[in-house]
């Protein structure tokens, strides 16, 4: 029993890692752009396909392929900012619809380029850390955990310590006041979109060998990310991380001890509960509502 708990805990840590990478990006984009990016799950999918193309087809070393995924998806984010969100700045519903349109385009491109079947990627490493007979952590999962910790810490330092980070936070809190202080909204928007999309891309790239890569893989991911950002409070990066961990633990344990569908229902009910009781989320401040 103890071993089962330990193993489930490890699984939860892994899930929390990639969920928080995705959710933090989504929150960052919402904070600065004021748009819920429905295509965020497809950015994650694009990251995974970058690895399929580069690592499997072109034999590029895995970590180089992952870096390419980050940069490529970051650039997709820049393109979205320029082509969709900037012209639709005053139309939040419009931005949402445009991101749904972009989602369909990305899915169609992936389906045309790679087919709708699942892609199998040769494992990067077969190595497994064995804590005991039944408590094991594949090293490929460890990569994801390390990447999440390193990247999110780096992002946190970037936001707290650098001028860009300061501008980004100011723009997220009050765009007009930030503009008055000489902060370029365009530039902060570009940085936020690159980072936000890039985080989703690297999450997809790193998990590509661990999950089934297909054009519709973004669907369940975006639902999870929505739950997490609502529970954590839309616009709160710390809240997104904490909610990711909480969601991962609850979801993993319910999946292990009951089943996956019940776990999904529990997750969604949790989100509905938070929306009813405190719509600004557990970590959101009232004025962002």
Partner 1 sequence: MRSVIFIVLGACALLALPHGLSFSQQEILVFLTINILLVSSYRLLTLTGEWSLAHVVIMGVGAYASALYSKELGVWVPVSILLGGATAALMAVLLSFPLFRMKGFYFLIGSFAAGEIIRLLWKRFRDPFGGPKGIKGIEPMPDFSIGIYDFDFFEPVSYYYLSGVVVAVCLWLLWRIERSPVGLTFHAVHWQDKLAEASGVNLRAYRTLAFAIASGFAGIGGGLMAHYVGTINPNSFDVDLMVYVLTWAIVGGTGTFYGPILGCVVLTVLNEIVLRELGFEQMRPLIYGLIMILSILFLPKGLESIVQHLATRRSEKGVKDRRAAE
Q: Should residue 283 be labelled a site residue for partner 1 when binding is judged by CB under 8 A?
A: no
Q: Give, as ranges, the residues between 97 and 126 that touch partner 1 (CB under 8 A).
A: 97-98, 100-105, 107-109, 111-112
> Which distant-in-sequence residues (6+ apart) come within 8 Å of 201 by Cβ?
43, 44, 46, 47, 50, 69, 70, 71, 72, 73, 74, 76
Q: Should residue 264 be labelled a site residue for partner 1 when binding is judged by CB under 8 A?
A: yes
Q: How far is CA 259 from CA 25, 250, 253, 269, 282, in A?
A: 29, 12, 9, 16, 27
Q: Should residue 246 be labelled a site residue for partner 1 when binding is judged by CB under 8 A?
A: no
Q: Which of left, alpha, beta for 2 (phi over 0: left; psi -120 to 50: alpha)?
A: alpha
Buried b (16+ CB within 10 A) or exposed e, 29-42: bbbbbbbbbbbbbb
Q: Which of 43, 51, 54, 84 binds partner 1 (CB under 8 A)?
A: 84
**Number of residues located near partner 1, criterion CB under 8 A:** 39
Residues 232 and 281: beta-carbon distance below 8 Å: yes
Structure tokens given for 157 = 């330092």
Stretch that binds partner 1, among 157-165, 174-182, 235-243, 266-274 (CB under 8 A): 266-274
Smallest gap from Cβ 286 to partner 1, in A, equals: 13
Smallest gap from Cβ 126 to partner 1, in A, equals: 33
Q: Should residue 85 be labelled a site residue for partner 1 when binding is judged by CB under 8 A?
A: no
Q: Which of 8, 94, 170, 190 binds partner 1 (CB under 8 A)?
A: 94
Report the 10 Å Cβ neighbour count for 152. 19
Smallest gap from Cβ 207 to partner 1, in A, equals: 22
Q: Should residue 79 be labelled a site residue for partner 1 when binding is judged by CB under 8 A?
A: no
Q: Should residue 92 be labelled a site residue for partner 1 when binding is judged by CB under 8 A?
A: yes
Smallest gap from Cβ 262 to partner 1, in A, equals: 7
Smallest gap from Cβ 88 to partner 1, in A, equals: 7
Q: Give, as ranges, the residues between 16 and 45 that touch partner 1 (CB under 8 A).
A: 36
Q: Should residue 271 be labelled a site residue for partner 1 when binding is judged by CB under 8 A?
A: yes
Report the 10 Å Cβ neighbour count for 257. 11
Q: Give the integer Cα–Cα distance in Å for 64 and 60.
A: 7
- Smaller CB distance to partner 1: residue 83 or 177? 83
Q: Which of 6, 37, 9 is nearest to 222 (CA)?
A: 37
Q: Give the integer Cα–Cα distance in Å for 224 and 251.
A: 10
Residues 79 and 145: beta-carbon distance below 8 Å: no
Binding site for partner 1 (CB under 8 A): 36, 83-84, 87-88, 91-94, 97-98, 100-105, 107-109, 111-112, 219, 223, 226-227, 230, 261-262, 264-265, 268-269, 271-272, 275-276, 279, 289
């Amino acid at each position: 029993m103890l071993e089962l708990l330990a193993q489930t805990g490890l699984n939860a840590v892994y899930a929390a890692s990639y969920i928080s990478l995705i959710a933090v990006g989504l929150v960052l984009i919402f904070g600065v752009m004021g748009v819920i990016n429905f295509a965020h799950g497809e950015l994650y999918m694009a990251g995974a396909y970058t690895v399929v193309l580069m690592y499997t087809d072109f034999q590029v070393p895995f970590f180089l392929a992952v870096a390419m995924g980050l940069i490529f998806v970051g650039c997709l984010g820049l393109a979205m900012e320029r082509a969709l969100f900037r012209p639709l700045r005053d139309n939040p519903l419009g931005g949402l619809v445009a991101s749904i349109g972009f989602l369909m385009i990305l899915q169609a491109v992936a389906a045309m380029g790679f087919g709708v079947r699942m892609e199998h990627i040769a494992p990067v490493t077969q190595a497994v850390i064995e804590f005991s007979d039944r408590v094991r952590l594949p090293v490929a999962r460890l990569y994801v955990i390390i990447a999440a910790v390193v990247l999110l810490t780096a992002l946190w330092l970037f936001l707290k310590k650098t001028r860009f980070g300061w501008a980004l936070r100011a723009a997220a809190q009050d765009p007009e006041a930030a503009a008055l202080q000489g902060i370029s909204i365009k530039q902060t928007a570009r940085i936020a979109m690159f980072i936000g999309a890039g985080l989703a891309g690297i999450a997809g790239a790193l998990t590509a060998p661990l999950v089934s890569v297909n054009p519709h893989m973004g669907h369940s991911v975006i639902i999870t990310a929505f739950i997490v950002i609502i529970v954590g409070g839309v616009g709160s990066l710390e809240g997104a991380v904490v909610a990711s961990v909480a969601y991962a633990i609850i979801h993993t344990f319910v999946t292990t001890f009951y089943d996956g569908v019940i776990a999904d229902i529990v997750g969604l009910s949790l989100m509905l509960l938070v929306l009813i009781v405190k719509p600004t989320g557990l970590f959101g401040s009232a004025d962002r509502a």
